[in-house]
Structure 1
């Protein structure tokens, strides 16, 4: 039920929604710093323990799968217990997993600590978290906000990756993980102080809203709701088309680039520190590309944006084997700029499609679509390492992923909008048979 309220005094530092978005961005930045660590650890772990690249890639794959599968349940848990509690617990889980990794002795421990604990923690702050913040706190600028928060994961890589790479080279891999543990522990209390679950908690309307909505009652049965939303959305074509395209997105970004780009560049004689710096540079342009994509999503058809992004990304990946060398040539610099602009640019259009088709359940649906993204990433992380062991080169992997990106472009164009729906103006709508729709009928 909505009630008309008199305007509340503006905080002299701006609407509280932007502070909440900033806190969410910080949490995502810290969580994002953990995503490229397996790429930095591949060489040191292979040298110290004698593990194969496939074995190390298995732990990264488990991490990515859990990252994806956790997201929809985390979105539902945020409805039940609030964003603050979920994010703080997630940061502590990340810190625990990374800390235990420093004292591991066997491969299964690496899979347990890094794959399970870090995967669960980072998955709780996946892009579904940003979608939840945008949906609760913003009516205007939703695309821009989702783009900003989504860019945080790669911005975290940009901030931490060069320093982590230098630490691994000069002091070993364990001190680099300890630094991440400290960062996660320092961020947790800040989240408790700044994050708020709903504008009504502080007596405000969402940014851009003329009316103040009452705080919704906590949703019981978070796990049951996440599963029921999945079952309902799985009966619709847009879900499978979007999930399929996003699975390819995960394979062609997180799965291969953040896990195998550094060792692939090292195969061509490039120092690991230099390759890590290139990944960090990709992160710089990733922020620009994702924010620009969010801006464009507010104004354009997200299907066409997705198709263009995938087609261009596929061309870049097919060209990558020709660009690898021991030094950074201008062609590689051009690749870094272009790939960075396209890397996470797919996120705002996909969030917009989920919100358009599934309304109030959109954040949870996007969590499940994000799970497909991480399954694709996990397959690429494991398959890339296995292909390198089998063929002695990553060239077939880059070519295969480029072809898959072309398929993703076609899938994106097949997603159909509802008749009469205005693209770029998200309308809250519940899906027939969804928990939110049933609640509306009951009311």
Structure 2
């Protein structure tokens, strides 16, 4: 019994580790786009609207892929899911590193890599972790999904150094090689027997994806979490991941100082996700999630006033990092309790699709507003309003799910 429990514990934390690493690589690849955007404007003549539009297109692809990726992990487990996603991200990055053609870039980044981003995503990792952990689920989810930002603390500054020392092509090449190199390690370590602890057995009933979708969208809790997460996407992956580095460049800061501030944001973000996961196990999760959104709105006031003051940019990075992806482990915990573990992958995928739709709107509107006004003030003002709105929506959620046990009976 003790030996079995020990092996189970090892599997649990291996999934947490590989989830962290996979997210670190995938999200760093996305962040690199913002880092090289000003360089592409000068070297390739691509407008900020075009690059922002490619990011928005990638986010729309991610939104389309997310529910199917969630259903895929519900059926097949985390090993095959992450391996497939890493392969697509890696191949897309390698193609981007070797082209100057706008069409090929769109295919590589906004189609191939974007499909991988939709698979190597926080909803996939949080689902795998939730299936394995009964105790400390929030903490484990926070640690695993913090790879989305914490991994960038080291990777993005390194990419900036590669960018300034060599070229932007080497930046994407390094990310692509890293993704492909992780696949065999992940595949050999997360054995098929271990992965069966995450995916359902063949003898379990497997309703079609459309039956499960119909059941999920009838739940009021889904709509509250979906729309708040959509607004979350606008204020994080949309305007910050895509436009913070170009905004820093616009304020007069070079690639390395800008990437360093982004790295600070990512490091604090990691601590914020872990802390939010820990708190989700110990306090009212609805109040916690609503407070995170409201505090995020306050941070944009600081961002508006950065100007040429680098210290103010770092202050924003510290404040925003604490409330950036801290929403992920809390939202995942609420999905598990209010919508059920059996369809958690699908539910998180659908909610994450909303996040990507909001992010696409933020990414595109940020570039469009900049080209229109030659500034970002209205982007940040809009973000304040939407973050506060997300917090208000969350507070409508009931604290005690009425039928979670019914849904769990099928698991």
Query: Match of 2:237, SS?
Result: helix
Consecutive unaligned residues of structure 1, counting only runs of 5 or more, are 1-5, 207-213, 422-426, 431-435
Structure 2 partner of 1:390? 372
- Distance in 2 between residues matched to 1:384 and 1:166, nearest whole Å: 26
Query: Match of 2:3, SS?
Result: coil
1:406-428 deviations in Å (ceiling 9; x for gaps): 1111101011234679xxxxx65
- Cα distance, 1:86 vs structure 2: 2.0
2:386 to 378, 385, 404: 404
Conserved? CA contact 2:67–2:349, under 8 Å: yes
2:20 to 16, 25, 46: 25
Conserved? CA contact 2:264–2:317, under 8 Å: yes
Conserved? CA contact 2:264–2:314, under 8 Å: no
- Distance in 1 between residues matched to 2:393 and 2:72, nearest whole Å: 31
2:86 to 84, 91, 99: 91
- Distance in 2 between residues matched to 1:106 and 1:191, nearest whole Å: 33
1:70 aligns with 2:65: yes
Matched ranges for 1:128-139 at <5 A: 128-139=123-134
1:338 to 315, 319, 324: 319
Matched ranges for 1:97-136 at <5 A: 97-136=92-131
Matched ranges for 1:217-366 at <5 A: 217=202, 224-225=208-209, 227-325=210-308, 327-329=309-311, 331-359=312-340, 360-366=342-348
- Distance in 2 between residues matched to 1:419 and 1:21, nearest whole Å: 27
- Cα distance, 1:108 vs structure 2: 2.5
State the TM-score, normalized to the length of structure 1: 0.86
| Change beyond 3 A, Cα 1:81–1:400 | same
Matched ranges for 1:139-288 at <5 A: 139-196=134-191, 199=194, 201=196, 216-217=201-202, 224-225=208-209, 227-288=210-271
Conserved? CA contact 1:265–1:275, under 8 Å: yes
| Change beyond 3 A, Cα 1:215–1:261 | closer
- Structure showing greater Rg: 1
| Change beyond 3 A, Cα 1:218–1:100 | farther
- Distance in 1 between residues matched to 2:225 and 2:75, nearest whole Å: 27
| Change beyond 3 A, Cα 1:14–1:354 | closer
- Cα distance, 1:394 vs structure 2: 0.4
- Distance in 2 between residues matched to 1:361 and 1:291, nearest whole Å: 24
- Cα distance, 1:216 vs structure 2: 2.1
More helix by share: 2
State the TM-score, normalized to the length of structure 2: 0.93
Query: Match of 1:34, SS?
Result: helix
- Distance in 1 between residues matched to 2:143 and 2:380, nearest whole Å: 28
Q: Aligned Cα RMSD in Å?
A: 2.4
- Distance in 2 between residues matched to 1:174 and 1:61, nearest whole Å: 21
- Distance in 1 between residues matched to 2:122 and 2:112, nearest whole Å: 18
Conserved? CA contact 1:263–1:272, under 8 Å: no
Question: Once structures 1 and 2 are overlaid, which stretch shifts more, 97-106 or 284-293?
Answer: 97-106
- Cα distance, 1:10 vs structure 2: 5.3
- Distance in 2 between residues matched to 1:232 and 1:122, nearest whole Å: 26
1:227-259 deviations in Å (ceiling 9; x for gaps): 433322222222122111111111111111111
| Change beyond 3 A, Cα 1:12–1:297 | closer
| Change beyond 3 A, Cα 1:228–1:105 | farther
Consecutive unaligned residues of structure 2, counting only runs of 5 or more, are none
- Cα distance, 1:48 vs structure 2: 2.1
- Distance in 1 between residues matched to 2:7 and 2:349, nearest whole Å: 35
Structure 2 partner of 1:46? 41
- Cα distance, 1:68 vs structure 2: 3.1
| Change beyond 3 A, Cα 1:415–1:195 | same
Conserved? CA contact 2:142–2:274, under 8 Å: yes
Structure 2 partner of 1:378? 360
- Distance in 2 between residues matched to 1:377 and 1:132, nearest whole Å: 21
- Cα distance, 1:15 vs structure 2: 3.3
Conserved? CA contact 1:59–1:115, under 8 Å: yes
- Distance in 2 between residues matched to 1:317 and 1:231, nearest whole Å: 37
Conserved? CA contact 2:66–2:353, under 8 Å: yes
- Cα distance, 1:220 vs structure 2: 8.5
Conserved? CA contact 1:357–1:429, under 8 Å: no
